[in-house]
Structure 1
Amino acid sequence: MEKALELDREYPETLKDEFNVPTFKSMGLSHDSKPVTYLCGNSLGLMPKSTRYSINAELDAWSNCAVESHFEHPKKAEGKAPWMNVDLPVLPLLAPIVGAQEDEVAVMNSLTTNLNSLLITFYRPTEKRFKILFEKGSFPSDYYAFYNQCKIHGISEPEKVLIQIEPREGETHIRTQDILDTIEVNQDELALVCLSGVQYYTGQYFDIGRITFFAHKFPGIMVGWDLAHAVGNVPLQLHDWGVDFACWCSYKYLNAGPGGIGGLFVHSKHTKPNATAEYLPRLAGWWGNDAAKRFQMLEVFEPIQGALGFRQSNPSVIDTVALRSSLELFAKFNGIGEVRKRSLLLTNYMVELLEASKYYKHPLKMEELPHYFTILTPTGADEDHGAQLSLYFDSDTGEEGIMPKVFQYLHNSGVIGDARRPNVIRLAPAPLYNTFSDVYIAVNTINEAMDKL
């Protein structure tokens, strides 16, 4: 614990006081009012204290001015945007986090809705080019989206069209070279490459720039990314990398609340020119139409230049201001670059503690342990992982059900992570609010749980 406290003194920069941290009492664990050790920002970020005020301000506007708040907010002196433009102040806060121009991002819908919407535009199979490459074990929503996009396009056996790449036998993550080789082998038939920026199960951070650049060597291949576990977690340079499209949710590292509003990126190369007769076909709605003509109700679609032209309906005001309140904290922390620096310190310290555990089983060693855990997440280099570590629990004695017992002990002890059955616990130190002491407590509690086994 001494080293953790020393690190907290050496790197005191944290915005923990700006967040509401659940307590043992609030979670029904005991009558103690001390905060729990929350390491589940990869699943749901903590609530910024400013979010309550931001949402209440919109409820007051609805209560006091109703429909007129669309055009003039009663608290405009405090910087509150009229509902007509409620998402616009979010864009300059969001664009740097994903490495985009402001006109390349939009706040809208939810993650999978945005993915399906973008696939309508960017997955255009032909007789010769129709395959989709993504990772085996991707989040189920992505698989369902790809599968049904194939069916929408009249492909009767989508499973023959979907190429799923997976780790080599005996390995826990996918080699970048294997992805590049698969692209090259299928270059004449691939229509789309769409992987996760950070893999939700293993925590692997894919080399987005290298993979995108390589795929674009073969004309006709579009490249998109599901950034659910990457946005707000790792630095991104979507514009410079030449990514065609991307989408994400905001309730994980972006701390926008459960079911928070999603976002998307469309590279500017796809929205110029953008004349009425030349724009990319899309799922369209009036909120993507020329804002100056929106209320003329014309039967002519003139999309707004950039990603805003992909909006369909006006965004949820409540969800949008919740996202804004969190993004303002990222700006207060001096941006995603500083977030990443602290993130690596926290996660690498966790790796150090885990590997020092008597229950850690190194993948290259053959010693037998009654109960053990390994780290699925690649940790050999900083660029291979984000904040999350995925821990695999097992036993050399053949005993089953090790992970649920450890997970329950963690929970009862106030260490909050999440489980992926049958064997994995995910822990993610979020740099905006987690400390080195949090990391130490979590690993020490894992060791205690293993002792109890």
Structure 2
Amino acid sequence: MKFENSLEFAQKLDQIDPLKKYRDEFHFPEINGKPVIYFTGNSLGLQPKRTKAIVDEVMSDWAQLAVEGHFYAEKPWWDYHERLAAPLAKVVGAKTAEVSVMNTLTVNLHLLMVSFYRPTQKRFKIICEEKAFPSDQYMLASQVKFHGFDPKDAIVEVKKRDGEHHWRTEDVIAKINEVGDELALVLIGGVNYYNGQVFDMENITKAGKATGAFVGWDLAHGVGNIELKLNEWNADFAAWCSYKYMNSGPGNASGVYINEKHLNNPDIPRFEGWWGTKKETRFLMKPEFEPMENADAWQISNASILAVAPYLASLTMFEEVGMPALIEKRDKIVAYLEFILHEIDAEVDSSFEIITPKDRGCQLSVLLHGQGKSLFDYLMKNGVITDWREPNVIRLAPAPFYCSYEDMYRFGQLLKKGILSK
């Protein structure tokens, strides 16, 4: 399709958008009395309007049933989280038994490391990407120190080539092969938070497992954004948050994937608690732990229902639409945003550099040569909620559920005004 940088063209794209009705399913903040242009679904998704009803349902059950809500609510609390497994499995390319919802992201990564980081004196190294998200860096460093290793020796970062803004798959695989039989674990953010790059998870997983290592993925920026085939790729595990593209609310519950070959494996270690034991015997209060036969065996405590309920509300929309339709709009709206950026760049004779490679999801990270944070401040004051990363990068994530093509056009006009007003 040949794009045009005009309001009329953008509005025509919105008119034929199969997902256009979902924009009205979300609450938009307002600045200067107008709904914002929202580019930070990669940080916190907007609130779905249907969330309130499902949370109110839990509150009503609590008020009317109290403890009996565990068994007699319309959606009983004791198995509430199980309702999320099947729709989530479709989103991440897994079998239902391989998926569970519990805790928050870094907590789950720590718990999964109990099972999948089992270092020996010879095989103890972890491969991650250079400048991984800080929480992942802290988690990895604390894990290797807990096992008695020095992070400087145990953590191997795959670096970008000099002068380049993204990683090359061949460099990741070369590093895996170089570490070889010293490699215990590969754990990388499947979609990089800074530049928006989608890693070649299929081939990196294959390479890591060929060395005898476990391979896991932090999918905080991936779930609900890109096509995932975790079971087909044979990843050992993955974890993700739910508050970005999944729109479940700030700091909300995390999801986990554990490959089916690790389920019902008596030799795999994990930290265990009451809610991971079999439902059939859970309330018999037996002293022996009898693990669930699915990923729920990794649960420790009962689900936080008021956190899980908004996630369930959001997943109803993913069920209605499906990832293929979301990805189709994602590709089109991101391409249109990229077109708009190049058009504005030419009009103002500036020097934008999109540092996100073509292997991408919703996000475009734009290096604003010659521009400072004052441009970001101008955009924010004029109704564009975006994200600033030092030294001079703005991250733009047009989430397909609620961003419109008209948003992309209007953003371009505000960007141009912001640059020319300096």
Q: Does 1:352 align with 2:339?
A: yes
Q: Secondary structure at the match of 1:42?
A: coil
More helix by share: 2
Q: Conserved in 1, the CA contact under 8 Å of 2:355 and 2:365?
A: yes
Unpaired runs of at least 5, structure 2: 1-6
Instruction: List per-residue Cα deviations over 1:248-296 (Å, max 9, x = no partner).
Output: 0000000000011001000001114x4xxx2411011110011111112
The match for 1:27 is none
The match for 2:255 is 263
Alignment of 1:1-400 (within 5 A): 1-14=7-20, 15-24=22-31, 30=32, 32=33, 34-73=34-73, 76=74, 81-155=75-149, 157-218=150-211, 220-272=212-264, 274=265, 278-333=266-321, 335-358=322-345, 372-379=351-358, 384-395=359-370
AA paired with 1:427?
L
Compute the displacement of 1:144 (Å): 0.7
Change (3 A) 1:360 1:284: farther
Q: Secondary structure at the match of 1:204?
A: coil
TM-score, normalised on structure 1?
A: 0.89
Q: Conserved in 2, the CA contact under 8 Å of 1:48 and 1:326?
A: yes
| Structure 1 CA distance for aligned equivalents of residues 278 and 347 of structure 2 | 58
| Structure 1 CA distance for aligned equivalents of residues 354 and 399 of structure 2 | 18
TM-score, normalised on structure 2?
A: 0.96
Compute the displacement of 1:403 (Å): 3.4
AA paired with 1:252?
K
AA paired with 2:23?
K
| Structure 2 CA distance for aligned equivalents of residues 422 and 325 of structure 1 | 38
| Structure 2 CA distance for aligned equivalents of residues 327 and 99 of structure 1 | 15
Using CA pairs under 8 Å that are at least 6 residues apart, name the structure with larger relative contact order, 1 or 2.
2
The correspondence for 1:422, drawn from 369, 391, 408, is: 391
Q: Conserved in 1, the CA contact under 8 Å of 2:345 and 2:352?
A: no
| Structure 2 CA distance for aligned equivalents of residues 125 and 288 of structure 1 | 25
| Structure 2 CA distance for aligned equivalents of residues 421 and 358 of structure 1 | 21
| Structure 2 CA distance for aligned equivalents of residues 359 and 105 of structure 1 | 47
Q: Secondary structure at the match of 1:169?
A: coil
| Structure 1 CA distance for aligned equivalents of residues 238 and 368 of structure 2 | 33
| Structure 2 CA distance for aligned equivalents of residues 112 and 228 of structure 1 | 10
| Structure 2 CA distance for aligned equivalents of residues 59 and 421 of structure 1 | 42
Instruction: List per-residue Cα deviations over 1:14-70 (Å, max 9, x = no partner).
Output: 31111111122xxxxx2x2x3111111101001010101111111111111111101
Unpaired runs of at least 5, structure 1: 25-29, 362-368, 396-401
| Structure 1 CA distance for aligned equivalents of residues 111 and 286 of structure 2 | 23
Q: Conserved in 1, the CA contact under 8 Å of 2:205 and 2:233?
A: yes
The match for 2:4 is none
Q: Conserved in 2, the CA contact under 8 Å of 1:279 and 1:303?
A: no
Compute the displacement of 1:448 (Å): 1.6
Change (3 A) 1:227 1:449: same
| Structure 2 CA distance for aligned equivalents of residues 444 and 282 of structure 1 | 53
| Structure 1 CA distance for aligned equivalents of residues 148 and 390 of structure 2 | 35
Change (3 A) 1:352 1:358: same
AA paired with 1:247?
A
Alignment RMSD, CA only?
Answer: 1.4
Compute the displacement of 1:153 (Å): 0.6
Q: Secondary structure at the match of 2:160?
A: coil
AA paired with 1:177?
E
Instruction: List per-residue Cα deviations over 1:360-396 (Å, max 9, x = no partner).
Output: 99xxxxxxx7x532111113xxxx000011111232x
| Structure 2 CA distance for aligned equivalents of residues 101 and 281 of structure 1 | 22
Compute the displacement of 1:418 (Å): 1.3
Alignment length (residue pairs): 415
Q: Conserved in 2, the CA contact under 8 Å of 1:232 and 1:336?
A: yes
Instruction: List per-residue Cα deviations over 1:415-451 (Å, max 9, x = no partner).
Output: 1111122311111011111111111112222222111
| Structure 1 CA distance for aligned equivalents of residues 306 and 402 of structure 2 | 23
Compute the displacement of 1:134 (Å): 0.4
Compute the displacement of 1:359 (Å): 5.8
